[in-house]
Every structure is written in structure tokens, then in C-alpha cells.
Amino acid sequence: MLTIGRVVDVLKLGLVGLVFLLMYLGFRILNREQLKDRPHPQVLKRATVFAWQGIVVATIVGAVELAQHFMDRQTSHSAPAPARAKNCLNEVESLDRVAGHPNQTLESLRSAVHATSAACGAEPAVGTNP
């Protein structure tokens, strides 16, 4: 039995929940009508159309959710371009200062190069661990 509380919980999922609810209700209508001794053909026809519409909407929602997931995944791995460029510039300037200091060790230079590579989005070369 579908209670109001369960309907609200399903609708809290957003468009996906609404599509699920519509599909479920379409199934219930078809199921009840088919259990009758003499099902009404118009009800069966309209419920079938309703179910197909739900399948189309579910496919569209699924495609949009999948696309949004991949777009969110790509954008979450990197800062916005202007901020990333500014961080990179700051690290390059810092690297220039570190390299220009006469008492630098090889380890401090490696650490500065690693930080600059990370800020500029490049993968550090093998053997350049900070």
C-alpha cells in the first residue's frame, strides 16, 4: 500500500522520484484493470500509453542525470580556469624566487617544482617527490 508518507519520501528524490511514482501508478492501473473479468479496452489502451510515456520520461531523466554526473565529476577535479591560472602564476613566481636564492638544496627545489606542477595541473615527473 502506498501511503502519503511514502509518496512524499519518493518525491523528495526529485524528478527521478516523480518518474518512478508515475511508472508505479501506471503499473497499478494496468494491473487492476487486467484482473477484472471484462477489462475496459479504453482504460487498458490509455494506461499503456501512460506507461510508455513514463518509459520515455524515465529514459530522458536517466540520460540527463548521467550527463550531469559526468559533468560534475569533470568540473569537481579542477578549480575554475581563472583561479587555476592565478594559482599557477603564483607558484611559478615562487619557484623563480626559490631558484634564485643561492643557498637552495636539491630537495627544496624539487619540492618547489612539485608544488608548481600541481598548481598548474601537470603531473609531476617520476623522482620529483616533495
Tens digits of residue pLDDT in 54-96? 888 888 888 888 888 888 776 655 555 677 777 777 777 777 7
Measured from the Cβ of residue 15, the count of other Cβ atoms closer than 10 Å reads 14
Of residues 8 and 76, the one with the higher pLDDT is 8
Its pTM surpasses 0.75: no
C-alpha neighbours within 13 Å on the C-beta side of residue 75: 7
Provide the residue type at 39 as one letter. P
Reported for 75-78, long-range contacts at CB under 8 A and 24+ positions apart, including other chains, are 78/121
Q: According to the model, what pLDDT value does residue 79 have?
A: 52
Q: According to the model, what pLDDT value does residue 64 have?
A: 85
Cα 74 off chain centre by: 9
Tens digits of residue pLDDT in 10-34? 888 888 888 888 888 888 888 888 8
Whether the predicted pLDDT of 9 surpasses 70: yes
DSSP string, 62-112: HHHHHHHHHHHHHHHTS--HHHHHHHHHHHHHHHHHHHHSTT--HHHHHHH
Of residues 55 and 109, the one with the higher pLDDT is 55
Burial class (CB in 10 A: 0-12, 13-18, 19+), 19: buried
Highest mean pLDDT among 25-29, 77-81, 108-112, 119-123: 25-29
pLDDT band at 105 (very low <50, low <70, confident <90, very high): confident
Sorted by where each begins, the domain ranges of the chain are 4-76, 81-119
Contact assessment for residue 15 and residue 61, using Cβ atoms and an 8 Å cutoff: yes
Whether the predicted pLDDT of 108 surpasses 70: yes
